Amino acid sequence: MSAASHLPGGGASAASDDAPRKRGLGGYLLLSPGGLWLVVFFVVPTVTLVATSLYDPSGSLQLGYAMTWHWQNYTDAVVDYGPQLLRSLQYAVIATIACVLMGYPLAYAIAFKGGRFKNLMLVAVIAPFFTSFLVRTLSWQYILGDNEAVVSLLRWLHVLGPEGHLLATPFAVITGLTYNFLPFLVLPLYASLEKVDRRLLEAASDLYASPFTAFRKVTLPLSMPGLVAGTLLTFIPAAGDYINSELLGNPTTRMVGNEIQDLFAAGDYPTASSLSVILMAAIVLLVAIYVRRAGTEELV
Amino acid sequence: MSTATPSATATAPRSAGSRFTRWLGDNVVLLVGLLVLLYMFTPVFVVILMSFNDPAARNSYSFDGFTLDNWTNICGPLGMCEALRVSIEIGVLATLVATLLGTLMAFAMVRHRFRGRAAANIVIFLPMATPEVVMGSSLLALFVNGGVSGLLGFWTILIAHIMFCLSFVVVTVKARLAGLDPRLEQAAMDLYANEWQTFWRISFPLVFPGILAAALLSFSLSFDDFIITNLNAGQEVTFPMFVWGAAQRGIPAQINVVGTIMFLIALAAVVAGDVLARRRAGR
């Protein structure tokens, strides 16, 4: 096995980083249509959301809302929906950890053990996601159902009591979240692992590092950008999700997304907006701490 | 791989057991990886199985009997095919617009130098880092404040879908573009190709796989979206919204037929793309 065959074409990729870029108005022309779309339908709405969160909650869609800088919406939202908010973050953290425990070995196996089946395995990671998110989540209702194999087996092993079930429990919700967001962890992680220079691992083993030490000191640090990106892509959507909670959970597993959706559906825009802003703020805060700790800044 | 059985037995007599543990030590990651893949595929198997289900009761979600009826009568459930049509229309339109605008943006980001690049990068990145429910509620807040809440429907869904597909297109095309050797374009220019010719003869064909990947990604994101759509849909019903509604009442087995068909079409597209890429590489 020659190590050189695994190496990426170093010259070309290095050259594009400091490639000469064109100056002038061309860049703006190319950027502006899509950029405007993002400003008008992403940036402006975000500002509107913050504004809406401070409206007088006694207004309604028909009568209109008055901007009264009603900060009490926030305290009300925290008091009324604090448990759901905490539960969302908690479920999202657990699901993210479960994704790492399953996704790291998978990404590692594809990058280092895939051989000529590498592309096939990558397709296999993406393939389940060609079936609709909701249809797949619904199929977990069947897999975890009371009369099906998984529950029967666990009851037989006495992991579950004779009346125990999995569906409509926090376990089911977290299983669904883990399942749904796993590829978002695997793909960036694989991209990072794939780039690890195999010669570094040879060097480590030449210097008497055991395979485990080589992994800990070489592979793991080099895969950190992918791991950080992957965990964020898992944690963020999981924290805002309400599909898994609704389809696989019960009223005590409701997450903040369920409440936001229901508040909007009920027409309580100010409270719904403030809850949305709180969710976003909590995520930004947690992500900032995490990224600082993980020590990677090259995410964009 | 070359240290396989014959030489191993010749140099050091080892028991089958220790050889097995050694093989296991080398490949335990691969085994775990395959198990994880199995976990990821289980729901797909269930969807395929359930597409042949003959449910005993309306809200039964257990396998009660085999039938082909769901496949011969796909549009049986009231409103499902109508919802499917809406989803496909929105998916195609959103893909076209997002792929076009996003590709232009990717070229600007990689090949052009201008003020505000960092800010542009952040605006492109943020939608991918925002939970869907926040993005959806922001848009709804905008539409309501703009006084167009009565117009919620097809067009507001389309606007939303183009918005969240854009970032993914930019990132996908950018990755392809950044991996290209810019010296190819410089060489074309040195050989007196003008910018237009350089773009169509050199850059575009080389970036095209990235654009195609971005388009496929856009379509699947759009077709699959529920949370943002649900907030901004008004009276319009897309396929995911139909499934959501059905989940409250009892799921028609035909939903699994549609799931299976989508899976097969996407798989065929990926395989076809791979075969084409191999053929090109072989030439």
Which residues make beta-bridge pairs with B66?
B53
No. of helices (H) and no. of strands (E), chain A: 14, 0
**pLDDT of the residue at A67:** 77
Counted across chains A and B, CB pairs separated by less than 8 A come out at 286
Which residues make beta-bridge pairs with A22?
B112
Instruction: Please state which of the ranges A116-120, B11-15, B229-233 shows the lowest mean pLDDT.
Output: B11-15
**pLDDT of the residue at A70:** 82
Q: What is the C-alpha separation between B133 and A33, in angstroms, rounded?
A: 25
Domains annotated on chain B, with CATH = 5-70 (no CATH), 78-251 (1.10.3720.10)
How high is the mean pLDDT of chain B? 86
What Å distances lie between residue A93 and A88, A255, A282, B196, CA to CA?
A: 9, 13, 13, 49
pLDDT band, very low/low/confident/very high, at B267 (cuts 50, 70, 90): confident
Which 261-280 residues of chain A touch chain B by CB within 8 A?
A: 261, 264, 269, 272-273, 276-277, 279-280
Q: What is the pLDDT of residues B238-255, one digit of tens each?
A: 999 999 998 888 788 889
Query: Any idea which residue has 């964020």 for tokens?
Result: A232
CA B127 to chain CA mean position, Å: 16
Taking CB atoms and an 8 Å limit, are B182 and A123 in contact across chains?
Answer: no
Complex prediction ipTM: 0.82
Q: Identify which has the larger pLDDT, B56 or A256.
A: A256
**pLDDT of the residue at A62:** 65
pLDDT band, very low/low/confident/very high, at A198 (cuts 50, 70, 90): confident
Q: Report which listed range, A245-254, B31-40, B90-99, is most confident.
A: B90-99
Query: Which chain B residues contact residue A195 at CB under 8 A?
Result: none
> Would you say B106 and B177 are in contact if contact means Cβ atoms under 8 Å apart?
yes
Q: What is the mean pLDDT of residues B80-93?
A: 95
Candidates A283, A286, A51, A55; CA nearest to B138 is A51
Which 39-98 residues of chain B touch chain A by CB within 8 A?
A: 39-44, 46-47, 50, 61-63
Taking CB atoms and an 8 Å limit, are A35 and B105 in contact across chains?
Answer: yes
A111 touches chain B (CB under 8 A): no
pLDDT band, very low/low/confident/very high, at B183 (cuts 50, 70, 90): confident
Report the percentage of chain B scoring pLDDT > 90: 43
Name the token pair of B271.
């395989």
**pLDDT of the residue at A34:** 94
Taking CB atoms and an 8 Å limit, are B46 and A237 in contact across chains?
Answer: no
**pLDDT of the residue at B86:** 95
Q: What is the pLDDT of residues A268-293, one digit of tens each?
A: 889 999 999 999 999 999 988 888 88
For residues A158-190, b (16+ Cβ closer than 10 Å) or e, as one string? eebeeeebbbbbbbbbbbbbbbbbbbbbbbbbb
Work out the burial of residue A88: count CB atoms within 10 Å of its CB; fewer than 13 is exposed, 13-18 middle, 19 or more buried: buried
Q: Identify which has the larger pLDDT, A173 or A128.
A: A173
**pLDDT of the residue at A68:** 79
Q: What is the mean pLDDT of residues A52-71?
A: 78
Domains annotated on chain A, with CATH = 67-294 (1.10.3720.10)
**pLDDT of the residue at B78:** 84
Instruction: Please state which of the ranges A56-60, A192-196, A197-201, B225-229 shows the lowest mean pLDDT.
Output: A56-60
Candidates B168, B159, B195, B186; CA nearest to B105 is B168
Q: What is the C-alpha separation between A32 and B108, in angstroms, rounded?
A: 9
Name the token pair of A150.
């998984």
- Element housing B4 (H / E): none
Q: What is the mean pLDDT of residues A224-229?
A: 90
Taking CB atoms and an 8 Å limit, are A280 and B134 in contact across chains?
Answer: yes
Q: Report which listed range, A170-174, A199-203, A224-228, B147-151, is most confident.
A: A170-174
Angle at A30 between CA A26 and CA A31, to 5 degrees: 115
Query: Any idea which residue has 């799931």 for tokens?
Result: B259
Q: What is the C-alpha separation between A181 and A112, in angstroms, rounded?
A: 23
**pLDDT of the residue at B62:** 73
Name the token pair of B151.
């117009």
Name the token pair of A233.
């892509």
Which 40-59 residues of chain A touch chain B by CB within 8 A?
A: 41-46, 48-49, 51-52
Angle in degrees, 0-180, between the axes of helices B254-282 and B204-224, rounded to the nearest 10:
170
Q: What is the mean pLDDT of residues A180-209?
A: 90
Q: What is the mean pLDDT of residues A150-158?
A: 84
A38 touches chain B (CB under 8 A): yes
The torsion angle over the Cα atoms of residues B239, B243, B244 and B247, rounded to 10 degrees, is 170
Task: Give 3-state DSSP helix, strand, coil % of chain A, rounded to 5.
Answer: 75, 0, 25
**pLDDT of the residue at A237:** 93
Q: What is the mean pLDDT of residues B66-94?
A: 90
pLDDT band, very low/low/confident/very high, at B135 (cuts 50, 70, 90): very high
Taking CB atoms and an 8 Å limit, are B226 and A43 in contact across chains?
Answer: no
Taking CB atoms and an 8 Å limit, are A128 and B44 in contact across chains?
Answer: yes
Name the token pair of A49.
């959301």
Candidates A79, A96, A88; CA nearest to A246 is A88
CA A204 to chain CA mean position, Å: 33
Q: What is the C-alpha separation between B3 and A217, in angstroms, rounded?
A: 27
